[in-house]
Structure 1
Amino acid sequence: MLRMIFIQLWNERKSNVLIFLELVVVSVFLWYASDALYVQYKSFERPLGFDISNVYHVQLATVPVSSADYDTSVVHSRKGGSDFLAVYDRLAHHPQVEAVCYTGGNHFHYRGSNQFATFKKDSLMRHGYVRHVDPAYFRVFRVKTADGQSWETLTKALDENRIVVTGTVGTDFFGSAAKALNQEIQITDQGDRDSVFYHIGAVCEPQRYSDFMDYDYAYYKAAGSREAIANSGDGLANGWSLFIRVKPAADNNRFVAGFTREMSQQLRLGNIYLKDVVPMSYYRNEMLRYWMDDIRFYFSCILFFLLNVFLGIIGTFWFRTQQRSAEIGLRMAMGASRRNIFRHLFAEGFVLLGVAFVPAALVFANLMYLEVTEWSAMQIPVLGRLLCGMGMTLGLIGIMVAIGIGFPAYRAMRLQPADTLHDE
């Protein structure tokens, strides 16, 4: 049967050449889009190294100096940092709050800006981030150690005025996270001319800035003692960020409105007031918008190509069924069953797809070799990536071919041999 199908496709090569070329071109483009989605998925599924569930950003602000409500007393203006600490303590004692922490500036994930740092050891140099955080940061964001232990070890390191580096720093600079413990590393913060040798007190799990980014280089150091904060001005509230982890039972769609209404008066201390309460999921969605647009684009391309395959297949085989109605009627008159006719037409379509897929696979393999496809910092096995793209492409086009052939093939099954032969 297969030999007969090949002979028939060759005899009808003039009518098959357009659908053949369409299948080749569509397979390459569909494979490219499928491969890009596969790479994005493999990046997305990796652990982030932190957990933002039930975490909220408590935004504070200060009354403008020009305002009539501005408190000019020394204790609230020049020593307004003590008000910031009082806000911190009130949040920590709230019955719905599990943990609270603060960070310097935008030193947290899913932000478009952060302070950079340069890591150096011998001739090795890498660029990454510096994050000034409260030791309780690791508890709020559920950051674990590189060997999967809880956050207590990380908190202790900052309490002892040592730094915490991410697992990527430990592995690349020292060979492993375990070997990085108690070692020194040279770091230059953004804007600083001189490097500082820091003592590594702990190594946290590898972290990524957001879901579709690669593991980065970063280190954490204590943002400042309570004494230093207490002696700061009230402007501290504008530059620093407070975060709370809410108990799961208390976190719901009404939490923000209820918490803001309840705490607005309690968090109004000196010139500091509660500005807003923002879930971390908001920052995540804002940062992922660019990648989600890319994913939607690839999905749109896939749907467009599949629609083209469907229309091309159904048009070609509908016309072919019309042209071969006498042949089909003769076969049925000679004893071929309707099911055999249906299977034969299906086999023609899938053989044509298989023939067209061979040059498409060669083209895509060369595109991958030339690194024209989606770039990824991950070490994804090339063979696995090729096979996955092949499977997705064949599966999707196969479904469209099956649907496109199904209507003409079903119509061919319903033909009456006597009528087709009589017309002929």
Structure 2
Amino acid sequence: MLRHLLKLIWKRKSRNLMLTLEILLAFVLVFAIAAFGARSWQLYRMPLGYQPGNVWSVTIKTSRDTPPMKGDAQLRDHFRRTLAALPQVEDVAFSNFSPFQHANMSSTFRLPPDARAVRVGMMETSDAFFPVLGMQALAGAWYSAADDGLADTPVVINRLFAEQLAPGPDAAGRAVGKIYMSSEYSGTPSRYVVRAVVEDFRQQGEFSTPRPYMLLRFGPDATMHGAQTILLRMKAGTPRSFEAVLQAQLKGMRPGWEFAISPLDDLRSAMHKVDMAPLLVLSVVAAFLLLMVAFGLFGVLWQNTTRRIPEIGLRRAIGASAGDIYRQIIAEQFLLSSVAMLAGLALLVQLPLTGALGAGLNWQVFFAAAGLAMLIIYLLSLLCSVYPGWRASRLSPTEALHYE
């Protein structure tokens, strides 16, 4: 049966070529959307590195020329003690920016022993940052006031950075105590010493790609960019109405500053909407294009079936049943779709093989996207061939043989 179908397809190769190309393009399009969705789902299931529940973010808004609390440790301590005295607040921490914000800070560092350069994301934080966000250390201990006065800046790094700093088994444990230097500043380079290693820290949320990351300690007297965010761990069940009380307390400490207060869960939901918007737009575009492909495919199959009425009549005259004709039309379309998708897979498999798209198209994403795309194309082929196949199977041998 398969051999017979291949012969029929080959004899009509000039007619089937455009149909095959149309299916191939549809397959590549669906594969791209499915790969984007599969990668998003894969990222969403990865560890976030912290617990945003019951944490509120307070963003301090001042002029660009006067970053808040850049060199005033006493002012930070005043904010900490005043806010911690509120009965609804369990703990207070400071950072450059908040989790779930599209903010970014990175630099290049030289790692021992060969001084290779690595690009690393970074954030400045206070000592209480880790308990406020419920973070857990894989190895080492958080930096603290005991690090005051050190020549090297204490940092906490994630596992991906630890694996580059200390390659091999138990990279997290062996990275603790390691010293490395920055490479983007003139003069004497800054030195950093690892105090602890965390599993991961994805500041920009679940849909951000994991990368080497470091959290460095605010200096006792100065910071690089200022403490522009206050993170408050609130007691469970604290109502949003407390925001007005908190706003009044903050304004009382610094009347000239503006404060934007948001629970991290709200920032998380807002970031999810922004991150998912491209997938939704691409899905709508893909659905529209697939609809156009379906109309074209249906028209071509209708026309091909009409041209083959004498052939169908001859088959019916020599004993083929209506079911045989029906199955033949659908099987031919499935076989044609399979040929087109195999050609597409032969091209697309080069992407994970060569690593052209990096971790964005790893083998798990590739197989998930390929399976979903094949399923959709097979369903599309089935839906488009059902009616032409049914129409062909309903022809009587006499009517078909006398068709002109």
Residue 112 in structure 1 maps to residue 103 in structure 2: yes
SS of residue paired to 2:127 = coil
Q: Once the 2 structures are TM-superposed, how far is the Cα of residue 338 of structure 1 from its aligned partner?
A: 3.3
Q: What CA distance in whole angstroms lies between the structure 2 residues aligned with 1:390 and 1:132?
A: 42
In structure 2, relative to structure 1, the CA distance for the partners of 1:37 and 1:220 (3 Å cut) is same
Paired residue for 1:9?
Answer: 9
Question: For 1:59-70, what aligned pairs fall within 5 Å after superposition?
Answer: 59-60=59-60
Whether the 8 Å contact between 2:39 and 2:361 is mirrored in structure 1 is: no
Paired residue for 2:151?
Answer: none
Aligned-residue identity in percent: 22
Paired residue for 1:200?
Answer: 194
Whether the 8 Å contact between 1:83 and 1:270 is mirrored in structure 2 is: no
Residue 165 in structure 1 maps to residue 165 in structure 2: no
Q: What CA distance in whole angstroms lies between the structure 2 residues aligned with 1:16 and 1:308?
A: 18
Q: Which runs of 5+ in 2 are unaligned?
A: 64-68, 148-153
Q: What CA distance in whole angstroms lies between the structure 2 residues aligned with 1:355 and 1:131?
A: 51
In structure 2, relative to structure 1, the CA distance for the partners of 1:240 and 1:190 (3 Å cut) is farther
Q: What CA distance in whole angstroms lies between the structure 1 residues aligned with 2:259 and 2:332?
A: 67
SS of residue paired to 1:160 = helix
In structure 2, relative to structure 1, the CA distance for the partners of 1:190 and 1:53 (3 Å cut) is farther
Whether the 8 Å contact between 2:156 and 2:196 is mirrored in structure 1 is: yes
Q: What CA distance in whole angstroms lies between the structure 2 residues aligned with 1:306 and 1:219?
A: 46
In structure 2, relative to structure 1, the CA distance for the partners of 1:185 and 1:385 (3 Å cut) is same
**Residue range with higher mean Cα deviation, 349-358 or 395-404:** 349-358
Residue 391 in structure 1 maps to residue 371 in structure 2: yes
Residue 219 in structure 1 maps to residue 210 in structure 2: no
- Which amino acid in 2 is paired with 1:396? I
In structure 2, relative to structure 1, the CA distance for the partners of 1:396 and 1:131 (3 Å cut) is same
TM-score, normalised via structure 1 length: 0.74
Whether the 8 Å contact between 1:306 and 1:397 is mirrored in structure 2 is: no
**Residue range with higher mean Cα deviation, 160-169 or 83-92:** 83-92
Whether the 8 Å contact between 1:98 and 1:244 is mirrored in structure 2 is: yes
Paired residue for 1:123?
Answer: 114
Decide which of 215, 231, 248 is 1:243's aligned counterpart.
Answer: 231
Whether the 8 Å contact between 1:167 and 1:203 is mirrored in structure 2 is: yes
Cα deviation code 1:11-67 (max 9, x no counterpart): 33332222122223433444344445444543443223223344321134679xxxx
Q: Which runs of 5+ in 1 are unaligned?
A: 64-76, 148-152
Q: What CA distance in whole angstroms lies between the structure 1 residues aligned with 2:309 and 2:331?
A: 17
Aligned Cα root-mean-square deviation (Å): 3.9
Whether the 8 Å contact between 1:62 and 1:271 is mirrored in structure 2 is: no
SS of residue paired to 1:9 = helix
Cα deviation code 1:208-238 (max 9, x no counterpart): 34332232231322453xxx69xx9xxx9x8
Q: Once the 2 structures are TM-superposed, how far is the Cα of residue 291 of structure 1 from its aligned partner?
A: 5.2
- Which amino acid in 2 is paired with 1:243? L
Whether the 8 Å contact between 1:107 and 1:132 is mirrored in structure 2 is: no
**Residue range with higher mean Cα deviation, 321-330 or 280-289:** 280-289
Equivalenced residues, count: 384
Whether the 8 Å contact between 2:55 and 2:233 is mirrored in structure 1 is: yes
In structure 2, relative to structure 1, the CA distance for the partners of 1:360 and 1:168 (3 Å cut) is closer
Decide which of 248, 254, 258 is 1:265's aligned counterpart.
Answer: 248
Q: What CA distance in whole angstroms lies between the structure 2 residues aligned with 1:239 and 1:16?
A: 65
Residue 376 in structure 1 maps to residue 358 in structure 2: yes
In structure 2, relative to structure 1, the CA distance for the partners of 1:81 and 1:163 (3 Å cut) is closer
In structure 2, relative to structure 1, the CA distance for the partners of 1:28 and 1:271 (3 Å cut) is closer
Decide which of 375, 397, 400 is 2:380's aligned counterpart.
Answer: 400
Whether the 8 Å contact between 1:100 and 1:245 is mirrored in structure 2 is: yes
Whether the 8 Å contact between 1:154 and 1:204 is mirrored in structure 2 is: no
Q: What CA distance in whole angstroms lies between the structure 1 residues aligned with 2:375 and 2:166?
A: 45
In structure 2, relative to structure 1, the CA distance for the partners of 1:164 and 1:417 (3 Å cut) is same
SS of residue paired to 1:46 = coil
- Which amino acid in 2 is paired with 1:277? I
Paired residue for 1:73?
Answer: none
Q: Once the 2 structures are TM-superposed, how far is the Cα of residue 145 of structure 1 from its aligned partner?
A: 1.1
Cα deviation code 1:71-98 (max 9, x no counterpart): xxxxxx9x99766545434433445444
TM-score, normalised via structure 2 length: 0.78
- Which amino acid in 2 is paired with 1:411? R
Paired residue for 2:175?
Answer: 180
Q: Once the 2 structures are TM-superposed, how far is the Cα of residue 138 of structure 1 from its aligned partner?
A: 0.9
Whether the 8 Å contact between 2:326 and 2:393 is mirrored in structure 1 is: yes
